[in-house]
Amino acid sequence: AFMLSRYESEFLELECIGVGEFGAVYKCVKRLDGCLYAIKRSRQPLAGSANEQLALKEVYAHAVLGHHPHVVRYYSAWAEDDHMIIQNEYCDGGSLNGAIVKREAKGEPFTEAELKDLLLQVSVGLKYIHGSGLVHLDIKPSNIFICHRPSAIVMGEGESEEEDDGNPSARVIYKIGDLGHVTSATSPQVEEGDSRFLASEVLHEDYSNLPKADIFALGLTVLLAAGASPLPLNGDQWHSLREGRLPKLPQELSPPFRCLLQLLLEPDPTKRPSARELCKHTVLREKRTE
Ligand SMILES: Cn1cc(CCO)c2c3c(c(-c4ccccc4Cl)cc21)C(=O)NC3=O
């Protein structure tokens, strides 16, 4: 087009880092500030369509959620050339899904200490989202992004609002991303997320405990990081994963941690711990056992 779009004038596109039916995500550098951003460009949904609703809910959620260390940060969104564009924080460590694939390939699933760190960090992010009266509804490894905290203490004007989660030793920071399914926990318009991570009560349209559906999906997410085999989309295996039994794992986990994971997958959502309870859970708080 003769008129340079805002996307082209403000950003230099470095590489495509993801493609889906939604559109594509690019790693870009903003010409003005020289910083990296992840920018998703998707086809402008038809005005008044369900997809338009989804696109708007994503932007509303980011606007409401503001800044949190364990939620991917939102910078801007706009429409042009028949596309919707959202500019988010670029997480330099890829997605948790990518990390799981890499570790599996090397035959090194996450250790119990790493699994506890993952569960604790994502619980802190979920506590913030749930505390804002919202639910994510698409928690899964490909929607959790990794930032590598700089090893040296970065001098200079640190961002004051990023309160630390009190974990000085963590070199890896997990951030909840893709808010495309976020909705109100109390007056929800539920757009189901990935069926592999869907709690059975949501499949049966029981929306009375939506925050606990995020907890269920988080339980399956941690199990995958622990080395569980890929999750079924449907069928008998799908149902047996929702009867409260843990799938086979390639590693022995300590009984207290196994119990906690089992609780996350409880068929009865009221028996699953809340994000707030997980953040205080002794199993996750104790010093590293090894
Ligand atoms: C596929 N993919 C890869 C990455 C980079 C990981 O090193 C990524 C990011 C995002 C997103 C994203 C997800 C959903 C909506 C908007 C965006 Cl920008 C997708 C991403 C996002 O919001 N921030 C990212 O880093």
**CA pair distance 126, 284, nearest whole angstrom:** 15
Q: Is 95 in the pocket of ligand 1 (CB under 6 A)?
A: yes
Residues shown for the chain: 290
- The reported pTM is 0.92
Lowest-pLDDT choice from 9-13, 149-153, 261-265: 149-153
Contact 26, 15 (CB under 8 A): yes
Q: Check if 145 has its Cβ closer than 6 Å to any atom of ligand 1.
A: yes
Does ligand 1 lie within 6 Å of residue 110's CB atom?
A: no
Q: Indicate if the pLDDT at residue 55 is higher than 90.
A: no
Q: At what angle do helices 210-225 and 96-105 cross, to 10 degrees?
A: 30
141 close to ligand 1 (CB < 6 Angstrom):
no
User: Residue 208 C-alpha to ligand 1 middle, in angstroms?
Assistant: 30
Amino acid 20: pLDDT: 86
- Over 70: is that where the pLDDT of 136 sits? yes
Q: Where are the alpha helices (H) located in 196-254, listed in sequence order?
A: 200-203, 210-225, 235-240
178-217 pLDDT, tens digit each: 999 999 999 888 989 999 999 999 999 999 999 999 999 9
Q: Is the pLDDT confidence value at 160 over 70?
A: no
Average pLDDT over residues 103-108: 93
Q: Which helix (H) or strand (E) holds 263?
A: helix 255-264
Q: Which of 268, 270, 283, 219 is nearest to 247 (CA)?
A: 219
Which amino acid, residue 275? A
User: Closest Cα to atom 19, ligand 1: which residue?
Assistant: 25
Instruction: Indicate whether 156 pLDDT > 90.
Output: no
Q: What backbone phi and psi angles, to 5 degrees, belong to 107?
A: 65, 30
pLDDT at position 151 is 65
Extract the tokens encoding 11: 């950003």
The residue with greater pLDDT, 269 or 46, is 269
Q: Kindly indicate the confidence band of residue 166, based on its pLDDT and cuts at 50, 70 and 90.
A: low
Give catalytic residue positions. 138
